[in-house]
């Protein structure tokens, strides 16, 4: 089969299949990506080919640059990483199943060649080239995430305890739904059974979460355990806490969580990428990503815990998006068994059903897959527009699927419903029934060959091997750049003051907080110099800097921009300058209210470097404030990206990545809209030509019948003339009749020729019109693809009156002054105690 022409938003899934002849036809099956916004479900027993179908679906989504969250409980979806455009045996060799080779009596090299040949021939049969496989790998970023393990990219669950970045008063209902899901997942993890909403454990935890989140305060596990023992509120409902949930019982719940975090195995849950859906779906550069969440190594409790947290995060992210009819992103769930049962209410069920009901409006598609058709809530699947049904194992499975289809076939109301039972009964491996509410009738098709190598589930060691070069480096603190043992060494504390200098009250003083604490500083030093380093004594050293805080307003009424930003500047190395020049200042990300009014307490040894002479003068600080205002006025600018073809401008607080994502989505929507209008315009002309062709084909059939009849009459007439000669009939009358019949035959023949010419011309016109439509669609696609890449920049400058200097102060930056012994030699070094962000 020849692959259909590449079309954005059209997924090539296979070829139409004739159940009677058991043959694959030459008609490709293309699935409109926008139909996935009404979600899909794929059902089939082991060996039905559903993994190949679904990987093909995800490959097509990747080619269309649609990001995806892929929940992979068994490990099959990791095969998406096995893309080999060159189709060389050595590419397949590291990933083949050696047991399969041994069973076939072949060496690893021989079996690798066989697999490479198999994949090359299979792809060729479906018209898929190496270039298409290469495009697949370039279209999106593929990554395997392994919560609870560092085999792939680990996921930190700490972000799930952080307060949502939403206004509590305006989003109380949404936040409470997230609290319910998070609490249910936590109780599942520690093995607490019971109602995840109305049990006293759930009520206590939910109230703790709401107490902190309503104040926009993050939680962590330590604070949660402390709050269970000593809740930050006195009542639950009308009862006091101790009556509703006695202290000794709360201690048992706290111990359950404490035992969890005390386990060495649990530490891997606290490290890794944050569960930030927006950050996962796109790379820092704005490239779409397919995130494969590998869960095969987790226990049932751990899977339920993580899946629930993931679904809650996805749901919260979806609700923040703008409405669209184009496909924005996908959630693919490879085996939904146990996560959406028909009767039970596990914590994963509510957010999953909510996504099925609400995500469509935001262009977010959900694809659910299972080989257990009996244990799934079919009432929830009434919101599913597409059904892929493969070979089923038992009549009971078939009966349950037919019952489920009844709620999803409303388009047949009042009409004869297709024989779903007969169609399903005739399915074999790789043959699927495709029912789509957006199509007139169901069809049966044969799945195309997957571009990814389907070798079966990867093991954890294989995932580690696959992701070894792709994992990000994650650490608690970056090692300080100033770790050289000879960097600014001191001969003794006599050069320093134990207290800050006494200054005029008109000169404000601030302190940067310590963010790298003693133990971390010691680890940083040992990491740089070796474990043989022994720290003898350490204390805080404060160095003076000039800190400036300002507010800058960028106003452009034409563009409807009125944006205020806070700019902070720090001038360092004051001892080396004779006058202050703000050009040498560094912008600082910390908010002014995060600085302290007093030095750190609880540290015995604290030292202060001397301040420069000019820092003693209040008048000098006034001059510094005026100079800072001039500097900001002449140098500050709000740089915004713009795409002329889309007439879209970056929002002031919108990151480059988010702007690119928004522009890409807008480009898709306008592309789809223009293509739809164009197709509608051409459809009328094509329909008219089709009517003409049908009419000419009918006329041709009639003309040919007429011609054949005239030929027969002419032959009969010729026979009668010969007979007349022998019987003595009149020759003149007979000759005249024969001549007339020849003329009528000739006329009928000319008419057949003329009709054929007209029909050929009409078909030519139809082909040319279809070609023109295809070319016009390609031009639209090319226009928007190039347009979204044509980025220009505009700068918005502030007015002098829109620059306000709020504060210029003398500030103190903390460093660790460390005396240590290295191979018995006493030395001193300075390490940064405040990480500048």
User: 6-61: per-residue pLDDT in tens?
Assistant: 777 899 999 999 999 999 999 999 999 999 999 999 999 999 999 999 999 999 99
Confidence of residue 125 (pLDDT cuts 50, 70, 90): very high
Please check whether residue 149 is in contact with residue 297, taking contact to mean a CB–CB distance below 8 angstroms.
yes
Where would I find the beta strands (DSSP E) of 426-507?
431-436, 443-447
- Judged against a pLDDT cut of 90, whether residue 133 lies above it is answered with yes
Strands in 10-18's sheet, in edge-to-edge order, are 23-32, 10-18, 443-447, 431-436, 386-389, 40-43, 364-370, 329-333, 68-72, 289-294, 141-145
**Separation of alpha carbons 49 and 787, rounded Å:** 40
| Mean local confidence (pLDDT), 636-652 | 89
- pLDDT value of position 512: 93
- pLDDT value of position 524: 87
Q: What Rg, from alpha-carbon coordinates, does the chain have?
A: 37
- Judged against a pLDDT cut of 80, whether residue 159 lies above it is answered with no
- Judged against a pLDDT cut of 80, whether residue 390 lies above it is answered with yes
**208-255 confidence digits (pLDDT tens):** 999 999 999 988 887 898 889 889 999 998 999 999 999 889 888 988
Which of 61-75, 307-321, 328-342, 730-744 is predicted with the least confidence, judged by mean pLDDT?
Answer: 730-744
- pLDDT value of position 172: 92
- Judged against a pLDDT cut of 60, whether residue 836 lies above it is answered with no
DSSP 3-state of 622: helix
- Judged against a pLDDT cut of 50, whether residue 492 lies above it is answered with no
Confidence of residue 480 (pLDDT cuts 50, 70, 90): very low
Percent of the chain having pLDDT more than 90? 49
**698-741 confidence digits (pLDDT tens):** 988 888 888 888 888 877 766 666 566 556 555 556 667 777 87
The enclosing H or E element of 52 equals helix 50-63
**Separation of alpha carbons 400 and 377, rounded Å:** 10
Under CATH, what is the fold of the domain 1-83+127-154+271-475? Rossmann fold (3.40.50)
**Separation of alpha carbons 307 and 352, rounded Å:** 10
- Judged against a pLDDT cut of 50, whether residue 484 lies above it is answered with no
- pLDDT value of position 822: 76
Which of 9-18, 173-182, 360-369, 491-500 is predicted with the least confidence, judged by mean pLDDT?
Answer: 491-500
**Separation of alpha carbons 133 and 801, rounded Å:** 57
Which of 202-206, 322-326, 474-478, 487-491 is predicted with the least confidence, judged by mean pLDDT?
Answer: 474-478
Tokens of 151: 């085999």
**270-301 confidence digits (pLDDT tens):** 888 889 999 999 999 999 999 999 999 999 99
- pLDDT value of position 471: 66
Confidence of residue 409 (pLDDT cuts 50, 70, 90): low
pTM confidence score? 0.71
- pLDDT value of position 482: 40
Confidence of residue 481 (pLDDT cuts 50, 70, 90): very low
DSSP 3-state of 440: coil
- pLDDT value of position 727: 61
**556-608 confidence digits (pLDDT tens):** 888 888 999 999 999 988 876 666 789 989 998 888 888 988 887 777 788 88
Considering 369-373, 461-465, 789-793, the range whose residues carry the highest mean pLDDT is: 461-465
- pLDDT value of position 412: 60
- pLDDT value of position 721: 61
Say how far residue 638 (Cα) sits from the centre of its chain.
29
Cα dihedral sign, 98-102-108-114: negative
Return the higher-pLDDT residue of 650 and 222: 650
- pLDDT value of position 413: 54
| Mean local confidence (pLDDT), 94-98 | 93
**438-454 confidence digits (pLDDT tens):** 988 999 999 999 999 99
Confidence of residue 788 (pLDDT cuts 50, 70, 90): confident
Contacts of 536 (CB under 8 A, 6+ apart): 819, 820, 821, 826
What does residue 587 show for φ and ψ, rounded to 5 degrees?
-70, 145
Cβ count within 10 A of residue 327: 23
Domain layout of the chain by residue ranges: 1-83+127-154+271-475, 156-270, 493-637+797-832, 656-791
- pLDDT value of position 479: 30
Return the higher-pLDDT residue of 132 and 701: 132
Percent of the chain having pLDDT more than 70? 92
**Separation of alpha carbons 831 and 818, rounded Å:** 8
- pLDDT value of position 271: 84
Nearest 5°: the CA angle 299, 301, 307 is 100
Cβ count within 10 A of residue 344: 10
Question: How confident is the prediction for the chain on average, in pLDDT?
Answer: 87
Return the higher-pLDDT residue of 378 and 360: 360
Confidence of residue 88 (pLDDT cuts 50, 70, 90): very high
**Separation of alpha carbons 697 and 690, rounded Å:** 10
Return the higher-pLDDT residue of 655 and 198: 655
| Mean local confidence (pLDDT), 530-549 | 89
**763-779 confidence digits (pLDDT tens):** 898 888 888 888 888 88
Helices and strands of the chain, counted as H and E runs: 20, 25
- Judged against a pLDDT cut of 50, whether residue 487 lies above it is answered with no
């Amino acid at each position: 089969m020849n692959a259909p022409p590449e079309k954005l938003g059209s997924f090539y899934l296979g070829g139409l299949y004739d159940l009677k002849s058991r043959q694959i036809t030459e008609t490709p099956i293309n699935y409109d990506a926008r139909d996935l916004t009404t979600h899909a479900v794929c059902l089939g027993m082991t060996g039905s080919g559903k993994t190949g179908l679904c990987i093909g679906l995800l490959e097509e989504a990747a080619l269309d640059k649609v990001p995806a969250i892929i929940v992979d409980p068994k490990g099959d979806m990791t095969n998406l990483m096995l893309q080999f455009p060159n189709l060389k045996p050595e590419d397949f060799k590291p990933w083949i199943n050696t047991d399969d080779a041994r069973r076939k009596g072949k060496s690893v090299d021989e079996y690798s060649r066989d697999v490479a040949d198999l994949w090359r021939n299979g792809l060729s049969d479906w018209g898929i080239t190496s270039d298409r496989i290469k495009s697949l790998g370039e279209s999106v970023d593929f990554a395997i995430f392994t919560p609870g393990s560092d085999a792939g990219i680990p996921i930190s669950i700490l972000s799930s305890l952080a307060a949502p970045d939403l206004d509590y008063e305006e989003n109380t209902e949404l936040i409470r739904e997230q609290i319910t899901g998070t609490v249910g997942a936590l109780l599942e993890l520690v093995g607490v059974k019971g109602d995840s909403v109305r049990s006293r454990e759930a009520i206590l935890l939910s109230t703790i979460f709401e107490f902190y989140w309503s104040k926009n305060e993050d939680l962590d596990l330590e604070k949660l355990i402390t709050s269970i023992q000593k809740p930050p509120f006195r009542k639950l409902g009308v009862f006091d806490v101790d009556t509703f949930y006695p202290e000794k019982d709360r201690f048992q719940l706290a111990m359950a969580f404490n035992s969890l975090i005390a386990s060495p195995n649990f530490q891997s849950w606290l490290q890794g990428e944050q569960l930030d859906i927006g950050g996962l779906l796109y790379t820092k550069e704005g490239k779409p990503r397919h995130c494969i969440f590998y869960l095969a190594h987790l226990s049932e409790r751990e899977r339920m815990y993580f899946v629930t947290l993931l679904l809650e995060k996805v749901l919260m992210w979806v609700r923040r998006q703008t409405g669209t009819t184009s496909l924005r992103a996908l959630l693919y769930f490879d085996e939904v068994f146990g996560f959406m049962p028909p009767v039970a209410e596990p914590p994963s069920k509510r957010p999953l059903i909510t996504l099925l009901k609400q995500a469509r409006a935001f262009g977010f598609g959900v694809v659910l897959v299972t080989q257990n058709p009996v244990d799934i809530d079919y009432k929830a699947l009434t919101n599913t527009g597409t059904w892929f049904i493969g070979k089923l194992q038992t009549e009971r499975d078939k009966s349950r699927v037919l019952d489920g289809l009844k709620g999803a076939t409303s388009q047949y109301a009042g009409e004869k419903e297709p024989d779903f039972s007969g169609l399903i009964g005739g399915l074999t491996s790789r043959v699927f029934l495709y029912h789509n509410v957006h199509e007139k009738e169901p069809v049966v098709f044969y799945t195309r060959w997957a571009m990814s190598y389907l070798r079966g589930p990867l093991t954890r060691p294989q995932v580690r091997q696959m992701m070894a070069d792709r994992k990000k480096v994650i650490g608690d603190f970056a090692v300080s750049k100033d770790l050289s043992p000879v960097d600014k060494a001191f001969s003794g504390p006599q050069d320093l003051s134990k207290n800050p200098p006494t200054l005029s009250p008109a000169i404000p003083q601030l302190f940067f907080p310590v963010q790298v604490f003693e133990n971390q500083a010691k680890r940083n030093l040992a990491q740089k110099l070796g474990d043989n380093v022994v720290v003898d004594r350490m204390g805080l050293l404060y160095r003076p800097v000039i800190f400036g805080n300002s507010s800058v307003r960028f106003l452009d009424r034409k563009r409807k921009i009125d944006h205020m930003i806070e700019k902070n500047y720090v001038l360092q190395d004051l001892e080396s300058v004779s006058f202050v020049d703000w050009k040498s200042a560094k912008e600082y990300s910390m908010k002014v209210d995060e600085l302290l009014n007093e030095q750190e307490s609880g540290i015995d040894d604290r030292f202060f470097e001397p301040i420069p002479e000019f820092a003693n003068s209040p008048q000098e600080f006034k001059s510094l404030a005026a100079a800072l205002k001039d500097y900001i006025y002449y140098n500050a600018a709000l740089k915004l990206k713009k795409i002329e073809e889309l007439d879209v401008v970056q929002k002031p607080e919108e990151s480059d990545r988010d702007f690119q994502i928004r522009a890409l989505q807008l480009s898709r929507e306008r592309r789809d809209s223009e293509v739809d209008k164009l197709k509608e315009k051409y459809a009328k002309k094509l329909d008219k030509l089709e009517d003409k062709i049908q009419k000419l084909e009918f006329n041709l059939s009639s003309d040919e019948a007429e011609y054949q009849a005239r030929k027969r009459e002419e032959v009969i007439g010729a026979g009668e003339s010969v007979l007349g000669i022998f019987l003595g009939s009149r020759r003149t009358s007979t000759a005249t009749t024969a001549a007339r019949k020849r003329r009528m035959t000739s006329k009928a023949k000319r008419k057949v020729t003329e009709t054929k010419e007209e029909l050929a011309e009409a078909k030519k016109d139809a082909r040319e019109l279809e070609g023109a439509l295809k070319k016009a669609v390609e031009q639209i696609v090319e226009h928007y693809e190039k347009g979204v890449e044509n980025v220009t920049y505009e700068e918005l400058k502030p007015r002098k009156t829109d620059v306000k200097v709020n504060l210029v102060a003398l500030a103190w930056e903390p460093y660790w002054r460390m005396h240590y012994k290295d191979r018995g030699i006493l030395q001193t070094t300075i390490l940064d105690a405040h990480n500048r962000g």
